[in-house]
Copies of this chain bind each other. A is one copy, B any other.
Amino acid sequence: MRLEELGEFGFLARLRDRLGGSAPGVVLGSGDDAAVLLWEGGKYLLVTTDAVVEGRHFRRQWFTEREIGERAARAALSDLAAMGGLPRGLFASLALSPELSVEAAEALAEGLEAGAAACGCHLLGGDLAASPGPLFIDVVAVGETEAYWPRSGAQPGDAVLVSGSLGASAAALALLERGVAPAHLPPTLRRRFLCPEPAFDVVQALQPLGKVTAAIDISDGLVADLGHLAAASAAQICLRADRVPLAAEVRAAARQMGGDAAALALTSGEEYELAFTVPRVAVEGVQRALAEAAARPVTVIGEVRAGRGLVVEGGPPLPAGGWDHFSARE
């Protein structure tokens, strides 16, 4: 069987079954947004890696090298927010063509540093290799937390919330693929696509409350990622699709393309907003804490029930959802 037949998630599940094995000091291995290691001093170490391949995750003609680097850094760091953590450092391995200009390679590194600095850490190291093929960037984010937010902790009765608003990333991508020049994208879509903001403001505001039971960042699309969260928690999530907040300019972009804005918001990957669960009684305190911290708003978009899987209510018909790196339909 070839990888594209089994698919990314199928392969990863099969791999976890085979490797399995827990190690002392390892709280969570693969299968969540970051690995969690117990560390001396009562804090957890978080480690996550994020691979970005030219022609697969981005096209060179859309972005400058600096933009590619900054976007890759922000995307990788978002996995720390998904675990309720804050960043401590960023590392990047780059496979670059020997014919690449030094200026372009430096711009890539400066973009990585800019993304790290925007999130409160720095580019601390990495590796360089020559690539005979496409540009490849592997970004490694290292963070810490005193209490991690797993995907697996959602309980029946919990409310499901999402930070910020959704749809901008997919709308920007759709416009780019229709030939709209990056400079001509509507400004919100462009900014959200190029400079996603990991939800560390939400993490900082909510960690002191200790109420988050499960969390994930939206990289594969809300529907797919809530599906991951439901599966990890062995619970059912009921998503009220009509409550999902749309990012500015998504409705207009959808109209322009003859698509459905709500469907975009539900399936848009690489949003890097947080979806998370808290006990229903804690929702008011969560909203208040975020307002007091001037963090981005969050919206209740569903609830956790006994059962399995994701149920979507009140929404448009969806295409088979989510992003699979090895699926043939890409």
Contact = CB atoms under 8 A, between A and B. Distances in A.
B130 A25 contact: no
A131 B123 contact: no
A50 B67 CA distance: 24
Contacts of A127: 49-51, 138
Interface in A35-65: 35, 37, 39-43, 45, 47-53, 55-57
A202 interface: no
A121 interface: yes
A140 B49 contact: yes
A3 B91 contact: no
A2 B99 contact: yes
Contact of A51 (B37, B89, B101, B128): B128
A94 interface: yes
A128 B35 contact: no
Nearest to A116: B23
Contact of A57 (B47, B91, B94, B129): B129
25 contacts: A1-B103, A3-B96, A3-B97, A11-B102, A11-B106, A12-B128, A14-B106, A15-B109, A19-B109, A31-B125, A34-B125, A35-B91, A37-B142, A45-B88, A47-B91, A47-B140, A51-B93, A53-B95, A53-B129, A53-B136, A55-B132, A56-B129, A56-B130, A131-B136, A142-B142
Given A123-B19, A126-B30, A89 B133 contact: no
Nearest to A15: B109
Contacts of A21: 122
A59 to B, nearest CB: 12
Interface string A147-161: 000000000000000
A45 B142 contact: yes
B4 A99 contact: yes
A127 B137 CA distance: 12
Contacts of A6: 102
Interface of A: 1-6, 8, 11-12, 14-15, 18-19, 21, 23, 25-26, 29-31, 34-35, 37, 39-43, 45, 47-53, 55-57, 88-89, 91-103, 105-106, 109-110, 113, 121-134, 136, 138, 140, 142, 325-326, 328, 330
B88 A122 contact: no
Contact of A3 (B31, B43, B88, B100): B100
Contact of A95 (B2, B12, B110, B136): B136
Contacts of A8: 128
Contacts of A134: 131-133
Given A40-B41, A49-B126, A138-B51, A131 B56 contact: yes
A53 B124 CA distance: 22
Contact of A132 (B97, B129, B130, B133): B133
